[in-house]
Structure 1
Amino acid sequence: MKIKAKVKKTNIVNIRYEDKNIKLDLSRSKFVDGYMPVISAQENSDGMLDVITTIINKNRDIVVPIRTQTVTKEDFNNYNFDNDVLVFENKKAIYKVGKEEYYVIDLENTDFINKDNKQIPSNPIFEMNDYKLINKNKIIAHTSYYSFIYDVCNNVKKSMFYDFIEANKKYKNMYSAYYFSDENKYSNLLIIHMLINDHGGICNEALLNEGVLAFIPNSIIGNKEKTIRYCDDCYNTYIETNNKKGRIIH
């Protein structure tokens, strides 16, 4: 019995842009709330891929600048290219410009300017260094100073600011949020690990260095400075009352 191999259909369209006719493959994308992220790759003579990206509306009008970058096939398959775009509902998008340069933009209210040979939005909602998609609406946003859970579609910060957030490896739909303190007298770095959900709810238990468990009072939950001081005291008490040979860090 012969089995026919399935051939992936292409959807090539010609789009006029800056007095040029550009062919774009729309087979990898679909419309989200009236907008489509276009990620089209064409192999060049060196065996690399020329990746063309943009965002179009249902009239096939260009909404963000068309940009091109040449990458390896592996980088393309891993979405590791600096001109990546991602569209969300409610006409929002994430627009990547560089390795640690991402912008959240409103597709109905964004202008672009040339800066350092890059097309960047002049009026973004905000800028971030990296992000992790956690569902169709929300991301973990990482900036130079903090991380937080963010609802892209509704432009709403869903959690407090933490020093770092990542998906929890043990509990589904829960996230590990961290504060870091370098002022503890027995540790160069006191790590305060808490569980939060994607709505920003915080568990009262915090895991500290050496598996020390601290129960954070409701009166200070969500207050970074007070939480760090409280956990700092808890860890010091643990060291001192358990006859640990804690060496004071100067």
Structure 2
Amino acid sequence: MDRRFHFISGLPRSGSTLLAAILSQNPRFHAGMSGPLGGAFSTMLGELSGRNEYSVFISDAQRRRMLKGLFDNYYGPEYNAEVVFDTHRAWCTRMRQLKELFPQGKVIACVRHVSWIIDSIELLIRKNAFQPSSIFNYQPGGTVYSRAEGLANAEGMVGYAYNALKEAFYGDETSHLMLLRYETLTSDPARAMAAVYDFIGEPAYQHDFNDISFQADEFDLRAGTPGLHAVRKQVAVRERTSVLPPDVFRRFENDVFWLDPAFNPRRVLVV
């Protein structure tokens, strides 16, 4: 099968699972939650580097074939789809490699106000009060302040993804990058999906935004975070009050560089 690959990346709790669930309504497409390929890709890059004593026998052409083979073999014949969207936060750090391996491939990075990302994770932690989460290495201690700090640092769930997003946003492969705002996807899904289809060069498809289906309960339960990948049946904006202390919320409220055209010198598409 002449299969085409695209990539979903960006910030956590920003609509990537919802986007995948919507895309999966198209019978020509396959899309899902974050999977193992991002980590496998990084591991293979390392194993094929100079630290391997046999790297003298490995050419760049061989590296490309082996790395591309990860996708071809993982998405084998059991995936009956012409177009595959692989999801992982690391893809924003692999723009150059992805462009060389998949010249027609595009990266859709989901973004959201960082304060509301931290809030969304904190709300999950509180809802699952008797199940320590893998997000915090299953540690039951800490406060909302230490949790926010852990999420936002350079190696944290949010901080790493945020830095990776900025790497892609200010890099030189931005013609392959689109930022999709959570606020747009939930308030105007038809416009959001029209932009996605136009960006990847696929014919439009009539999606049903009132009948979304996605299931990852087993994964979320094992992660100690039921609801982590939950997707509601109907796409809609749901207003609520933040559970974060005001000072924690204010700390992150200006981290939305993609909203200011002055911070978008390469004119990355932001929808």
- The TM tier, using the shorter chain, reads under 0.3
Q: Which has the higher helix share?
A: 2
Highest Rg: 1 or 2?
1
- What TM-score comes out, normalization by structure 2 length? 0.21
* Structure with the largest fraction of strand: 1
TM-score (norm 1): 0.22
